[in-house]
Structure 1
Amino acid sequence: MPHASPIVDAPLLAHRGASLYAPENTLQAVQRAAEMGAKWIETDVQLTADDELVIIHDLELDRTTNGSGFVAHHTLDEIRDLDAGSWFGHGFGHCKVPTLEEFIGCVVDNGLNLQLELKELAGREYHLSDRACDALAELWPFGERKLFVSGFSARCMRRIAEKMPDVPRAIALICVPDDPDAYAEEHGVQIIHVQDKFVDDEALEIVRASATEFGVATVNDPLRAKYLLRSGVESVLTDDPLLLERGHLQAVDQIA
């Protein structure tokens, strides 16, 4: 049941920026995505040891920086000293882990909309949610750019609903629920994101019958993206902002 006016008003969200072309969740990945025509950026936020908000996906530093250990065990200054780009390729050694403030500034300056995913530590969901809400209230240009907050934690989503009820929310799941609309109502969300590997034809039948908006992650094959978008999914998260162009689909109306 595709929505006439979905919250995500474009078929693609740039997953951690243009992460096929630049180190994920860096300002360089945001800028590259904008240059490639992206309308939406997805990113991940979590807390440092000194209670600062930084943009990084993994709970540990090892994969995407030259650091080691948990993000939550390091201060902002320690994380800012790390190289967040050389792992990706030559010429990216200058990339740093951005703060949420820096990231939002880059998103807004490039005319983009934002999906902010909360990377919570179990047991501290409310603290991360509260800090994120306070930062968004201060930094986000409401009324000018679109925003929704997402996460795997239902506790986080319920807290966001309490603190910022007018901001849309998405719950990240593995599979399509048997009753998506009841699931969305139970957890106070408007969007459900699911993993592509678990989206088969039976799941897509449920999606089409649902009034809830759906996104699928992570899709880097243009034919697969086209199939999902024609089968009731409103948007896909991709590492490649040029995905539909590579599939010879220049506009949303060419998908149907």
Structure 2
Amino acid sequence: MSTVRPRIVNSPLVAHRGASALAPENTLPAVELAAARGARWIETDVRLTTDGGLVMIHDTTLERTTNGVGAVARTPLAAIGALDAGAWFSPAFAGTRVPELAEFLKAVLDCGLCLQLELKENSGLEEELVSSVARTLEAHWPIGDRGLFLSSFSERCMRLAAQALPQVPRALAVEYAPRDPVERLAEARCQILHVQAAATGPEARARLSAAGLEWAAATINDPAEAHAFLAAGATSILTDHPDLLG
């Protein structure tokens, strides 16, 4: 397993896709509102376009969070940049665009936030995604001077990230807590485990905490549940409400 250790987490709350309860997810307004509501960490998703661009969008397709149609991976960067990514959330955000990774990074830095960057893979394009993300981070992020870690549900992406950016900590995202979380992280060359709160009961929480590793739970929007996970040993929780913990 890699000897890279995660940077000390200075907040138990990570703003999930920005302040996504208050603004359209993964957009610049969501970043700004997360910071304004007191968040110190923000989580976001990055995907490849058909021509190798990097855009901030969670879904494989455009329909839910833009006025576009079709797969992100089959759409050119310029076409995605021309879409409206805000009107679906509220008329007040009409005209909001899907940001590219470089401009998103600038917004995060300008707002004084730390970043969890989730790599959303397309099967067979993991190398292209990781190498492109690595180049962009090296060009636009002060690696080592500001909190940053990469995450993914794809073990292949995480192993590639360990090669491309060995100095950046990595988190493996899973739905269910593995029986041997330490072994699972070692296989994926990660140091942090992210689980789905809805699938992580008391026994699983106890097992994760007993393993002595850093782990987080997503997505929690109830304050009592958030405090229960933190009390059980979670390092942090991901939430759509950046002021959830008061």
* TM tier, smaller: over 0.9
Counterpart position of 1:178? 179
1:152 aligns to 2:176 (yes or no): no
Counterpart position of 2:96? 95
Deviation at 1:187, TM superposition (A): 1.2
Counterpart position of 1:27? 28
Q: How many pairs align?
A: 241
Deviations 1:113-144 (A, max 9, x none): 00000000011111101111111111111233
Whole-Å separation in 1 of the counterparts to 2:235 and 2:110: 26
Whole-Å separation in 2 of the counterparts to 1:189 and 1:9: 20
Counterpart position of 2:15? 14
Alignment of 1:58-137 (within 5 A): 58-137=59-138
Deviation at 1:150, TM superposition (A): 0.4
Helix, strand or coil for the counterpart of 2:73? helix
Counterpart position of 1:200? 201
* % identical aligned pairs: 51
Counterpart position of 1:249? none
- 1:122 aligned partner, one-letter code: S
Aligned 8 A contact 1:34 1:110 in 2? yes
- 1:238 aligned partner, one-letter code: T
CA RMSD of aligned residues (A): 1.0
- 1:153 aligned partner, one-letter code: S
Helix, strand or coil for the counterpart of 1:159? helix
1:163 aligns to 2:164 (yes or no): yes
TM-score w.r.t. the length of structure 2 is: 0.96
Whole-Å separation in 2 of the counterparts to 1:177 and 1:142: 30
Aligned 8 A contact 1:62 1:68 in 2? yes
Whole-Å separation in 2 of the counterparts to 1:7 and 1:161: 19
Aligned 8 A contact 1:184 1:212 in 2? no
- Alpha carbons of structure 1 residues 37 and 100: separation in structure 2 relative to 1, 3 Å: same
- 1:35 aligned partner, one-letter code: A
Structure 2: gaps spanning 5 or more residues: 1-5
- Alpha carbons of structure 1 residues 11 and 40: separation in structure 2 relative to 1, 3 Å: same
Aligned 8 A contact 2:175 2:196 in 1? yes
TM-score w.r.t. the length of structure 1 is: 0.92
Deviation at 1:145, TM superposition (A): 1.1
Whole-Å separation in 1 of the counterparts to 2:43 and 2:8: 14
Structure 1 stretches of at least 4 aligned residues deviating more than 3 Å after TM superposition:
none
Whole-Å separation in 1 of the counterparts to 2:156 and 2:145: 28
Whole-Å separation in 2 of the counterparts to 1:120 and 1:113: 22
Aligned 8 A contact 1:170 1:190 in 2? yes
Alignment of 1:241-252 (within 5 A): 241-245=242-246
- 1:73 aligned partner, one-letter code: R
Counterpart position of 1:143? 144
Whole-Å separation in 2 of the counterparts to 1:157 and 1:124: 13
Helix, strand or coil for the counterpart of 1:43? strand
Deviation at 1:211, TM superposition (A): 1.9
Counterpart position of 1:52? 53
Whole-Å separation in 2 of the counterparts to 1:61 and 1:93: 16
- 1:119 aligned partner, one-letter code: K
Aligned 8 A contact 1:6 1:213 in 2? no
Deviations 1:46-68 (A, max 9, x none): 11111111100001000000000
Deviation at 1:6, TM superposition (A): 6.0
